[in-house]
Amino acid sequence: MIISSWNVNSINVRLPHVLDWLGKVKPNVLCLQEIKCIDEKFPRQAFEDAGYHCEIFGEKTYNGVAIISDSKPDSVQRGFLGEKEPFSRRFIEAKFGNVSVLDVYIPNGQAVGSEKFFYKLNWLKALKNHLMTEHSPNDLLAICGDYNIAPEHRDVYDPVEMKDQILFSDEEKDALKDIQNWGLVDSFRLFNDEAGHYSWWDYRMNSFRRKMGLRIDHIWVTESLSKHCTQSWIDIEPRKLEKPSDHAPIAARFEF
């Protein structure tokens, strides 16, 4: 089973890239973030023609998530349960047999100390609450998506320059660590210890060619699912294409 994730920064702009990648990698599940369209505008037919099922939780112009899969999920949840005032459309969950896949687009936060920064921290608390109330660390569970947080120094091109900056502040890393302590493992770090692996590069300053990146896209899994993980990787090839997303797709393989 291959579970993958990609912040596409507009599915309608990036559709050819995504379909091409699906044809090459053939993941069983692809979690998309920042689709930037309402459900009715999602290019569902193109994915169905490629043999995939679509579960969408979209939003006009901003945000939006979707789970693309080669089989219909047994159940789907859009948004956190019991929300009186729902967060933006940043969370969708699907279950495939006994494997739960959570697709998250964690808020960016804009700047440390800003209103959007505290919104981000509250969103992380809501995610932690969802895990505690709806799941167990013993579940076969994966949280895939754009976390908008680089967890460690080795996940940023220049940790000194990034110190106290958005995506790498202590508050964000601590909030993410609190979620990890619930019972999650970074699948990428099961196989790759070294620094210099990134999943996002700013469009500006020629960042991709200068290797000025951050690893902010992740597939974190429970211990029980990590035992089945045989590979986890970042595919930077789509970032080299014309009009790419600023993120690269990531994937993990599981053997049962």
Closest CA to 100 of 69, 66, 73, 61: 73
CB neighbour class for 83 (10 Å; exposed up to 12, middle 13-18, buried from 19):
exposed
The stretch 54-74 carries a mean pLDDT of 97
Beta strands in the chain (DSSP E): 2-7, 29-33, 53-57, 65-69, 75-78, 91-96, 99-105, 140-146, 184-186, 200-201, 213-214, 217-222, 229-234, 250-254
Domains and CATH numbers, the chain: 2-254 (3.60.10.10)
Q: Across the chain, what does the average pLDDT equal?
A: 97
Is 198 among the residues known to form the active site? Answer: no
Question: Tell me, what's the pLDDT at 154?
Answer: 98
What is the per-residue pLDDT across 86-104, written as a single tens digit (0 to 9) for each? 668 999 999 999 999 999 9
Q: Residues 103, 139, 146, 217: which is the catalytic one?
A: 146
Closest CA to 247 of 209, 210, 203: 203
Is 193 among the residues known to form the active site? Answer: no
Q: Residues 105, 147, 157, 198: which is the catalytic one?
A: 105
Measuring CA to CA, how many Å separate 173 from each of 68, 91, 116, 220, 238?
29, 20, 16, 15, 28
pTM of the model: 0.97
Q: Which one-letter amino acid corresponds to residue 196?
A: G
Question: Tell me, what's the pLDDT at 81?
Answer: 85
